[in-house]
Amino acid sequence: MPSQPATEIYLNLPVAELERAQTFYRALGFEIDERFTDENASMVKISDTIYLMLLVKPFFQQFTDAEIADTATTVGGIYCISAPDRAAVYELQRTALAAGAGPSKADLEDGPMYSKSFRDLDGHHWEVLAAESAAPAGSTGSTESTGSSAA
């Protein structure tokens, strides 16, 4: 067993056109780390501990014996990122759609959780989530969990 749990997340996604994908994620406000970018892959910094690795499909295929999911017809995963509030959720989805993303599912509003979603240029399903505090204003807090495990 490792002495320390993982401290960073690297999400690897196959893409059809690397430059097009880089342009899309830049439009969302994320930066490309050129130190880890070449003709096969590009690192996108989501936060100080979360990185998105965009890999052209032939390069991505070298890391698995399984077939790459056809995200036009299937969902390989739902990738959820947090936002500080509802306005930021709306703004990130609006920016994604303006940059060429497609719609995904209806908005979610479930108690303190609010999310919007989109499919990126390669069909990967993304959600943007704001989770308000479950504790009423002025209370000392709650020990109940909202059941959310989103970042």
By the 10 Å C-beta count (0-12 exposed, 13-18 middle, 19+ buried), 17 is classed as: middle
How many Å apart are CA 141 and CA 131, to the nearest integer?
15
Q: Give the containing element (helix H, strand E) for 126.
A: strand 125-131
Tell me the CATH architecture of domain 1-68. Roll (3.10)
In the chain, what are the domain boundaries?
1-68, 74-134
Q: Please state the separation of Cα 11 from the chain's center in Å.
A: 9
Cα within 13 Å of Cα(85), Cβ side: 1
Query: Number of helices (H) and strands (E), helices first, in the chain?
Result: 3, 9
Average pLDDT, the chain: 87
How many Å apart are CA 53 and CA 117, to the nearest integer?
20
Beta bridge partners of 102: 119
Res 62: pLDDT: 97
Reported pTM: 0.81
pLDDT per residue as tens digits for the range 60-108? 999 999 999 999 899 989 999 999 999 999 999 999 999 999 999 878 8
Res 151: pLDDT: 41
- 74-134: in CATH 3.90.850.10: no
Judge if 1-68 and 74-134 fold alike in CATH terms. yes
Res 124: pLDDT: 96
Closest of 98, 87, 106, 110 to residue 27, by C-alpha: 98
* pLDDT category of residue 5 using cuts at 50, 70 and 90: confident
First to last CA, the chain: 24
How many Å apart are CA 41 and CA 43, to the nearest integer?
7
